[in-house]
């Protein structure tokens, strides 16, 4: 699975200002909900529930909040670069500045794991991360992540 299968250039945002993890999850839920026609409160609740199981902060300034929904038929992603890093309870204790939201269909386990693995693999690559942090605009960020 390739990232352009579930991330659109219009769903990449830079200089997103949020004070904390909860507000970030609310903003992600609001934006995704309006695109997917899923109630934002439902998205936020599932993202929050997933974070309660363990932080989706991978370390090195990266988080991949994710959840499953019966209302969607294919994976959906959003990429945010935060204006200022925020505390996210990441495994390394460092704040997060690159966030990839991944919403997945409730079924299709293989597809779900493939999408999550694809994003995680890209965001663990130091060259990709440097390019994302140095991209001038959201189109540049999309091209960094979409490139094979």
Catalytically annotated residues: 66
Q: Report the Cα 106 to chain-centroid distance in Å.
A: 17
Q: How many helices (H) and strands (E) does the chain have?
A: 5, 6
CA dist., res. 142 & res. 10, Å (int): 9
Phi, psi for 38 (deg, rounded to 5): -120, 135
What end-to-end distance do the CA atoms of the chain give, in Å? 11
Phi, psi for 104 (deg, rounded to 5): -125, 150
CB 146 within 8 A of CB 3: yes
DSSP 3-state of 92: coil
């Amino acid at each position: 699975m390739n990232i352009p299968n579930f991330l659109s250039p219009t769903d990449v945002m830079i200089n997103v200002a949020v004070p904390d993890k909860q507000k970030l999850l609310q903003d992600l839920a609001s934006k995704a909900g309006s695109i997917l026609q899923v109630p934002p409160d439902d998205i936020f609740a599932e993202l929050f529930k997933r974070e309660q199981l363990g932080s989706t902060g991978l370390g090195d300034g990266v988080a991949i909040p994710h959840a499953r929904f019966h209302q969607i038929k294919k994976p959906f992603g959003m990429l945010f670069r935060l204006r200022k890093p925020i505390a996210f309870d990441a495994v390394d204790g460092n704040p997060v500045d690159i966030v990839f939201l991944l919403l997945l269909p409730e079924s299709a386990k293989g597809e779900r794991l493939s999408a999550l693995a694809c994003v995680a693999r890209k965001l663990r690559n130091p060259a990709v991360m440097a390019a994302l942090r140095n991209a001038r605009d959201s189109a540049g960020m999309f091209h960094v992540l979409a490139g094979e």
